[in-house]
Amino acid sequence: MNLSLFDACLRQYQAVLANDEVNQLRGVQYVYALWGALFAVPVSVLTESEDRYGEYGRALKKWWDAAYATFYAYLPDLALSTAHSTAKYVRASKEAGVSSGKRTAEVFRVGFLVALLCVSLLIHLPLAAYNLLELLLLGKIGVALALLSFNCANYYLEWTRWGLPASVIMVAVGLTSCIWRMGEAGGPLKELTPSALLLQALEGMRTRAEQRQTAELESLRRLQADVLDDLLPFHDALE
């Protein structure tokens, strides 16, 4: 670039800096306008003075045109598009990670509920068996008489050596049943019965599944809206 061309470009740059429309811009828009002027001014000067600079000016103008298209029009737009796509990818990955985390947590929660249900069954099955025995023997006195009769007969007839331990276990289960029924009357232990645990687990799973499905549908709609926003300019251009 010779001195006369440099001087003409410098005057054009000063005119751009003094332009009211440019000075009204703020922030990134102002910087972007000056960045575009860096390439547009030489193109404008060379276009106006095409006869003066001849083939040299036309060749130089093509170089500045290429620089303008590459560094002003293409690369910034590419950077913005890449940043926008990356942000959408990060957001989609984050939402997918959250959804996967919720599903994984649900698996552990179901496993915990199954274990809790097994413990509840382990407690309530002996209690249910004792309650049935008590019902058949017409109450606690009937159970006590049956145990006493069994132990007396076992003492003389020597049926089994496990008679006394079995009686102790039966008494322990009977005491536990009485205490449990008193607790159920108060309310808190009702929530630990197998039926109550099963109903709570099913209701909780249904509620969480609905919430998870709603959240995933909202996330999908947001992502689809972003894709449509990106496709609209291409659709308008084709029309």
Distances (CA, A) of 68 to 36, 62, 73, 192: 7, 10, 7, 75
pTM for this predicted structure? 0.52
Closest CA to 36 of 21, 48, 49, 51: 21
What is the rounded CA–CA span in Å between residue 68 and residue 43?
9
pLDDT band for position 228 (50/70/90)?
A: low
Mean pLDDT of the chain: 76
Work out the average pLDDT over 46-58: 75
Could you report the per-residue pLDDT of 146-202, keeping only the tens digit for each?
777 777 777 676 677 766 777 777 778 877 777 777 666 556 666 677 777 888 888
What is the rounded CA–CA span in Å between residue 106 and residue 99?
11
Could you report the per-residue pLDDT of 78-113, keeping only the tens digit for each?
877 787 778 778 887 887 888 888 888 888 988 888
pLDDT band for position 2 (50/70/90)?
A: low
Work out the average pLDDT over 15-33: 78
Tell me how far the alpha carbon of residue 54 is from its chain's centroid: 63
Distances (CA, A) of 174 to 118, 121, 144, 151, 161: 21, 17, 10, 17, 21
Tell me how far the alpha carbon of residue 144 is from its chain's centroid: 59
